[in-house]
Structure 1
Amino acid sequence: MTDGGLAGWIRAHGHSVAALDLEAPLDDLAPLAEIIGSARVVGLGESSHHVREFYQVRHRMLRFLVERCGFTVFAVEAPFTEGGLLDDWLGGGSGAVEDVAAAAIALSLGDVPELHDVLRWLRAYNQRTDGAPVRYAGADLPGSLGSPLPGIEAIAAYIEAYDPDALPTLTRARELVGRFHDPAPMKVLFGYPSADQAERDTLTAVLAELVARMQRLAHRQRARGRAAEHAVAAHHLRGAWLLDQVHRAMSAEGIEIASTFRDVYLAESMLHQLEQDSSARIVLAAHNWHLKKAPEPFGTGELFPAGYHLAAELGADYRAIGVTSRGGRTAVASGDLTGSTGFPFQEASLPPLEDAAIESAFPDSAPWTLADLRAASTVSDAERYTRMRMADYFCDQPAFDCFDAVVCVTETNGTAYTRPT
C-alpha cells in the first residue's frame, strides 16, 4: 500500500515511455515481459478506434512481443473470413498494403497509415527471420456485421467436396441472403428488420441445418486427416450463423444484446487459432470493451465481452491491456453510417478528466505510461477508479476488474482518416 494511492504507486512503479516510433529500440518496454508472463493470448486495447497514438503504442508493444517474447499471430478486430488476404500478403503476396488492408479489415479500420506501417514491418520481419513467421488472423464475424454471405461463400468448396448433398441447402442460403446483402455492412445491419419475416426465419433454419451437417462430419473428417480443413470451414460457417443471430437479436432486443454474439465469435476465433497451432502465441488488437475481463451490467442482466470468455477458458494464459488517454482528441463515429462500405469517423475533443477515472491517476510527464494493475491491486484507493474513457465520454468500467495492465497516453489525436471538427 502506498500513501499516495494509485497515483503515487504509478509515479513510483509505473513505466514511463518516451518513444512512439515503431523502429525505436525496445529496451524501454522490458517490463511488458513480466506483465504478460507465459500468456498465450494478449489483448492490446484502445478506448476508441482511429486514434493515432493508440496504433503507435500498440504496434511498439506488438513488435516487442514478436521480437522478445516469440509471439506468432497478429489478430485484429476484423473479419475472420477475409483474413486470408492479409495473411497471404504478410507471407510475400502481391498488392499494395493499402488495398489489401482495406479489403481484409472492414468499416474503414484498414484505412490507417499507422496500421500500414506495422503491416510493412511484419512483412519485412517475415522475410528476414529464421524462425516462425508472424501470421495475420481476423477475429470478427464475416464482413463485421454485414450479411452472412462472405461466410457462406467461404464454405462452398468444402461443401461441394465433402457434403454435396448439402448443396441445395447452401444454394437456398445464398438466395435468401442475396435478397438483403449489400457491400455497406451498416446498411445491412440497420436494414435487416425491414426484410420479410418469413424469409428471415427460413434463413435462420437453413443456416442451422448447415451447422448441424458440418458438425456431423467432424469425426469423419478427422479420421481422414482433414481435421484442420474441417475446423476452418466450421468456423466460417459458425460466423455466418452467429451473424444471423446478431441481426435477429438487434431487431428484437437492440444492438447491445446483439453485439454479444460478436464477442462470442471474437473469443472463439482466438481459441480456434490455438487449436490449429498448439505453439501459437497471439496478440489481439481490439477495442477495450471487447478485451475486458469483467462482464458489463445491463438492465437486469449482464453483457459478456470477448475478454470475459477468454479469461474463463484460458485463465492466466489470457492477459488484457487497456489503452486509453489523459487528454487531447479522439475519434467518434459520425454522419451516415449506412451509406458506404466505410465507416465515417470525426475527430472530437476529449472531456476533462473525472476523479473516478483511471486516467486521472496517470502522470503527464511522459508520452505514455504502462502500469501493471495486478501489482498495484493493494493501493489504498483502488476502489475509487470505477470509470474509464470510451470514445468522447466516460463509462462505468472498473479498470482493476477489467484489465491486467493499463497504458495511458498523455495526449492523443485522430488518424489521418478522421474528419476534423
Structure 2
Amino acid sequence: MDLLKLLANKPRLLALGEPTHLENDLLRLRNEVFRRLVEDEGYRTITVESDCLMGLVVDDYVTSGKGELDEVMARGFSHEWGGLAGNRELVEWMRTFNQGRVDQVRFAGFDGPLETSSPAGPRPVLTTLHAYLANWLDADLLPCTSDALDDLLGSDDRWTNPATMMDPTQSIGQTADAERLQLIAGDLAVLVDTQTPYLIAASSREDWQRARLYARTATGLLRYHYWMADQSDRRIARLLAQRDSMMAANLLDLVDRGPTLVFAHNGHLQREKSSMNMAGANHEWWSAGALVNAHLGAQYAFFATALGTMQHREVGTPPAGTIEGVLYAQDQQLIDPRTLNASLKPRVSPWFGYAALQPNHLPSIDGIVFLKDVNPS
C-alpha cells in the first residue's frame, strides 16, 4: 500500500491513526504499511502511543539486542500494548532488520508515563536526570542535592494514589513540595540546554538526547500532577491538553533526528480540535497532531484508519450514508478523502471504544486506510 502516492511531497512525520485500541488486525496493517515505508522510503524511526521512558527498553533491544524479548515486551510498553501479538511482531521485525546495519530503524514511545488509573510519580525521571547532570557538572550548578531532592519527593504512593483521578483533593500536585519540585525540574531542564556543547562532548549525543527526554518528561509530569489537584471545571480539559502537549514535544524532538512514522489513536493525530464527554461535561483541547501540524505544516501527514465491522465488539455493518458505509461497499484499502462527500452523516458506534470518522474532518485528512472486517485479537 503506497500512502505517499496521495501526497505531493514525502513528509518528515507521517502519522497513521487507528479508531480503536488493542486489535491485532489494525496493528498488523500498521506493520505492513510501516515496513514498506522503512524499507523503500528511508524512514528510520517508528514511534507509538506508549510510555516514552519504557520505550527506551524496546529501542535498546531492536538496535543492540539487549535483553530477552519476553522481558522487553513486558517492560517496554505501557497500556497493555506489550501483550499484543502485532506489537511483538513489529519488535521482532525491527530487530531482524537492524542486524548488521549502520542505518538502523529506531523505536520510541511518545506518550507520557500517564496510565489511565493515575500518572506515574516523578521520582525515577527526576533522580535519573539529576544523576546525569551531577556526573558531568560542578555541584554548585545544580539547584539542589540528591538528598534534598529525595526529601521533596517523599513516598512514591503519595504521587500514584488512584483516588486522585476522581478526587482532586487527594492529589499532592499543588503542595509546597510539588511546586518546589516544578522549579527544580525547570532548572535541571535549563542546564541540559545551556550546557549542551559540554554535555555532548563529555558524555555522548545519545546520552544528552535521553537527558532531554527525561527533562521534558519531568517538567510535563509535574505539570500534569499540578492539574490533577485543580478543582475547577477546566480540570479534565487541562489534563487532556497537557498529555497531548507532552506527546507533541516528543514527536517534534524525534522528527528533528530524521524521518519518523507515528502510530496512535486517530484522536491524538488529527489536525482538528479534539473533544470528549466526561464527568457530565464536554471538554475540548488541541491534539498532538494539531500541535505538530502547526509547527511542521506540509511536513506532517495524517492518514486515518477506518473500519467496517468488529463483530466481537458488536460493531456491525456500517449504515449507508456514512463514511464507513460508503467504503464498505467498495473494494479499496487506500482512499483519497477528497473523493468523499463531506455531507455524509457520522456513524454512531454501539461500543464506546470505537470512534468513527467525522465527515467534517475529511478536509484535514490526507488519506484513509480502510480495514473491512476486524477479527478478535
TM-score by length of 2: 0.83
Equivalent-residue separation in structure 2 for 1:153 and 1:402 (angstroms): 42
Matching residue of 1:232: 210
Is 2:328 the partner of 1:350? no
Matching residue of 1:133: 104
Matching residue of 1:103: 75
Equivalent-residue separation in structure 1 for 2:58 and 2:214 (angstroms): 17
User: Contact (CA 8 Å) 1:79, 1:142: kept in 2 or not?
Assistant: yes
User: Contact (CA 8 Å) 2:3, 2:367: kept in 1 or not?
Assistant: no
Equivalent-residue separation in structure 2 for 1:150 and 1:397 (angstroms): 43
Please give the residue correspondences for 1:225-374 in structure 2 after superposition, counting only pairs within 5 Å: 225-226=200-201, 228=205, 229-252=207-230, 253-275=234-256, 277=257, 280-296=258-274, 302-329=284-311, 348-350=313-315, 353-354=318-319, 357-364=322-329, 366=331, 369-373=333-337
Q: Could you report, residue by residue, the CA deviation over 1:85-121 in whole angstroms, capped at 9, with x for unpaired residues?
A: 1111002324332320221111211111111012111
Matching residue of 1:419: none
> What's the Cα RMSD here?
3.2
Matching residue of 1:118: 90
Structure 1 residues 351 and 392, CA gap change in structure 2 (3 angstroms): farther
Equivalent-residue separation in structure 1 for 2:191 and 2:241 (angstroms): 27
Is 2:3 the partner of 1:32? yes
User: Contact (CA 8 Å) 1:152, 1:170: kept in 2 or not?
Assistant: no
Structure 1, 351-360 or 64-73: larger mean CA deviation: 351-360
Deviation at residue 171 of structure 1 after TM alignment: 4.3
Is 2:177 the partner of 1:202? yes
User: Contact (CA 8 Å) 2:19, 2:356: kept in 1 or not?
Assistant: no
Matching residue of 2:342: 382
SS, match of residue 110 in structure 1 = helix
Equivalent-residue separation in structure 1 for 2:321 and 2:128 (angstroms): 47
Moved over 6 A (4+): 298-301
Structure 1 residues 216 and 358, CA gap change in structure 2 (3 angstroms): same
Q: Could you report, residue by residue, the CA deviation over 1:297-355 in whole angstroms, capped at 9, with x for unpaired residues?
A: 577984100000111111111111111211124xxxxxxxxxxxxxxxxx632265355
Is 2:168 the partner of 1:193? yes
Amino acid at match of 1:257: R
Deviation at residue 385 of structure 1 after TM alignment: 4.9
Is 2:134 the partner of 1:160? yes
Equivalent-residue separation in structure 1 for 2:80 and 2:45 (angstroms): 22
Deviation at residue 182 of structure 1 after TM alignment: 8.4
Structure 1, 190-199 or 299-308: larger mean CA deviation: 190-199
Q: Could you report, residue by residue, the CA deviation over 1:6-29 in whole angstroms, capped at 9, with x for unpaired residues?
A: xxxxxxxxxxxxxxxxxxxxxxx1
> Is there any run of 5+ residues in structure 2 with no aligned partner, and where?
none
SS, match of residue 318 in structure 2 = coil
Structure 1 residues 125 and 249, CA gap change in structure 2 (3 angstroms): same
Equivalent-residue separation in structure 1 for 2:158 and 2:324 (angstroms): 40
User: Contact (CA 8 Å) 1:204, 1:241: kept in 2 or not?
Assistant: no
Q: Could you report, residue by residue, the CA deviation over 1:173-197 in whole angstroms, capped at 9, with x for unpaired residues?
A: 54444534489x7837638835465
Structure 1 residues 304 and 387, CA gap change in structure 2 (3 angstroms): farther
Equivalent-residue separation in structure 1 for 2:158 and 2:32 (angstroms): 36
Amino acid at match of 2:371: V
Structure 1 residues 71 and 327, CA gap change in structure 2 (3 angstroms): same
Deviation at residue 132 of structure 1 after TM alignment: 1.0
Deviation at residue 258 of structure 1 after TM alignment: 0.5
Match among 145, 155, 174 for residue 179 of structure 1 = 155
Matching residue of 2:30: 58
Structure 1 residues 97 and 179, CA gap change in structure 2 (3 angstroms): same
Q: Could you report, residue by residue, the CA deviation over 1:30-54 in whole angstroms, capped at 9, with x for unpaired residues?
A: x322235410111111111101211
Aligned length: 359
Equivalent-residue separation in structure 1 for 2:313 and 2:51 (angstroms): 27
Matching residue of 1:149: 123
User: Contact (CA 8 Å) 1:98, 1:110: kept in 2 or not?
Assistant: no
Equivalent-residue separation in structure 2 for 1:138 and 1:57 (angstroms): 19
